[in-house]
Chains A and B, each alone.
Chain A
Amino acid sequence: MKWVTWEYIVVDRMASTWLIRRFIDPQAEFIFIPAGQKPLPEGAEPFDIPGVKYSHHRGHCTFHSLLKEYKLKDPVLSRIAAIVDEADVVQKVAVEPAAPGLDLICRALRRTSSDDYEAVRRAQVLYDALYAELSADENPVP
């Protein structure tokens, strides 16, 4: 399936491309368009674009909306959603100390990537690692 989003991906869109490839659509093909460009390309599912289904809703990030829509109940994914939420959406209450760090690292990764496709590949490494680390937190060795 084809997925489309605005170019220059950072924390939420990086996390979302990773989630889509790993948990929703392993064959996912991504298309990046300039912010605000309309109409959206036909035959591609839009995400993290204002007003579409997989986007910010009720003060939550796109990653969070994808989890909800695809009914992914993995507690590690919920934890990543909480961190991305705080990194990407301006929140009053903050309980995830990793959030500002993740935001910074994602911006840094994008800045040093030659294009969004490279950013997607590098984000896979980052979020795979994050998932593994948080899984260890969820299932501590007795």
Chain B
Amino acid sequence: MRRADGHADEIEFLYRQHGPALLLFAQAVTGERGRAQDAVHQVFLKLIEKGSLSKVVDKKAYLFACVRNAALNEGKLRARDAPLDPDSAWFSPPDRDYAGEQNLRHALGALPNDQRQVMVLHVWGELTFSQISDLLNLSSNTVASRYRYALAKLRDSMFAKENYCANS
């Protein structure tokens, strides 16, 4: 009983610690907050029910992999490459910069899916390129290259919009 409680506590701690980044990643994969939330819940409920993380070396990377699988499995049941939900917020913006949040969300949404996943995993998931390459089954060079492209596109997209808004 005590062991089960400890296990549940560990899962709850991981949920609090990585939940936001996992949800964001699931959103980047599925494009929809509801489906993303379902995928994250599905993973953690399975872990609470019967899973054991004691043998897992890299728990954070493992959780991202589980969420990705759950989101993709969920996606297979529905239409693939569904458009991103443009209305629901993804981030809590600094200094109530809601325009910036919307700008970032749209710029992320405009990225190709594979680049968006790498971007989210590295910036907000705080995974290394090596961890991401294991997770996505890609070489580290491919991951690094996707990240560089994504970062450049994101910056161009966000600042181009801001400059456009400032000039108009």
Partners in one complex: no
The residues of B with any CB-CB pair to A shorter than 8 Å are none
